[in-house]
Amino acid sequence: MEVLQKHRRMRDKIHFLYIAFHVYRVPPELQDDPTPLSQSFFSTNRPVARSGKYQALRGVRRKVHLDPGHYVIVASSYRPNQPGDFYLRIFAKTGNMLGDQDFTCSSDLLMVVQSKPVIQKDHNTVQKLFDQEAGADNRLDAVEFMKLVNSVLDKDYQLPLDTCRQLILGEGTEGRSRLTLTQTEKLLSTLRSLQSIFLKFDEDSNGTMSPFELSLALEAAGFKCDSEVVQVLWERVGSGELHLPFHGFVCCVARLRVLFALYESESSAEVKERGIHAWLLKFLVV
């Protein structure tokens, strides 16, 4: 087996990451599961083969002997959260089938996050602040909603105006882009749930997420997305940064919620034939 680094030669400069690969055997009960292997799988299973020490080379290789079965090959860099692209080459004496994990993106946000009731403390607080901030039509615009939410959430989890606009976009505001009291309470309850998810998957407690943590957190929020969709979403929301704060995670959830809803309401047979994966990749970059 050999893993090769891509795009590391730029003009007269060569900058190779320290890389290695590990091989894990997939047990029978997980072989037909189309979703990515969870973090618990890698923490409870030891690799059956590895390339050896991490090395700053274009390619690392190792001859291995594997019993017949299903395996997953994981290429990685020595330092965490370093973006990299790789080629994987396998030279086998006997026939084998090679592929990557693929599955259909899906959303269950309503059941996982939005079904939770508003806690009494938030209900009382929102009612009081809503009366102070609401306009003549008894609704909140994005600026008023931002003031209300940020007066309730902890300082490290407050939202910028653009994220508040994204959240309002996902609500049925009848074209007004303004929230009723009920919608405001529901969104605050959703934010509480997302905050709990964010804290759970922010493993190093630094107040941000890595791309891997984002994928797990989105799944916990009800969105199952493949690596390509998560990468595009990260590039769109993360703006090239290596870490994503809480409001970035909220923005990811808000964008996915809107795009899944638009796809479900789409009547075009051509769009449905292309599938949700193509739909997400097309509109996430907008």
Residue closest to 62 by CA, chosen among 93, 26, 89: 89
User: Looking at the predicted structure, is the pLDDT value of residue 48 above 80?
Assistant: yes
Average of per-residue pLDDT across 41-54:
92
User: Looking at the predicted structure, is the pLDDT value of residue 180 above 70?
Assistant: yes
Residue 53: its pLDDT value, please?
92
Average of per-residue pLDDT across 249-260:
93
Contacts (Cβ under 8 Å, ≥6 apart) of 173: 179, 183
Residue 34: its pLDDT value, please?
65
Residue 37 has, within 13 A of its CA and on its CB side, a CA count of: 20
Residue 33: its pLDDT value, please?
75
What is the residue extent of each domain of the chain? 2-101, 107-283
C-alpha to C-alpha distance for 113 and 170, rounded to whole angstroms? 14
User: Looking at the predicted structure, is the pLDDT value of residue 235 above 60?
Assistant: yes
Average of per-residue pLDDT across 167-181:
84
- Long-range pairs of 42-47 with CB within 8 A, sequence gap ≥ 24: 42/74, 47/22, 47/23
Q: What's the token pair of residue 241?
A: 């940064």
User: Looking at the predicted structure, is the pLDDT value of residue 102 above 60?
Assistant: no
Stated pTM of the model: 0.73
**pLDDT band at 231, cuts 50/70/90?**
confident
**pLDDT band at 12, cuts 50/70/90?**
low
Question: Which strands, in side-by-side order, build the sheet including 71-77?
Answer: 49-50, 19-25, 71-77
C-alpha to C-alpha distance for 142 and 161, rounded to whole angstroms? 7
C-alpha to C-alpha distance for 256 and 215, rounded to whole angstroms? 13
Give φ, ψ of 55 to 5 degrees.
Answer: -135, 145
**Residue 170 near residue 205, CB atoms below 8 Å:** no
User: Looking at the predicted structure, is the pLDDT value of residue 256 above 90?
Assistant: yes
Sign of the torsion angle spanned by Cα atoms 270, 276, 281, 282: positive
Q: What is the CATH number of domain 107-283?
A: 1.10.238.10
DSSP 3-state of 80 = coil
**Residue 256 near residue 248, CB atoms below 8 Å:** no
**pLDDT band at 131, cuts 50/70/90?**
confident
**pLDDT band at 50, cuts 50/70/90?**
very high
User: Looking at the predicted structure, is the pLDDT value of residue 165 above 70?
Assistant: yes
Q: How many CB atoms lie within 10 A of CB 138?
A: 11
pLDDT in tens, 141-160: 999 999 999 998 988 899 99
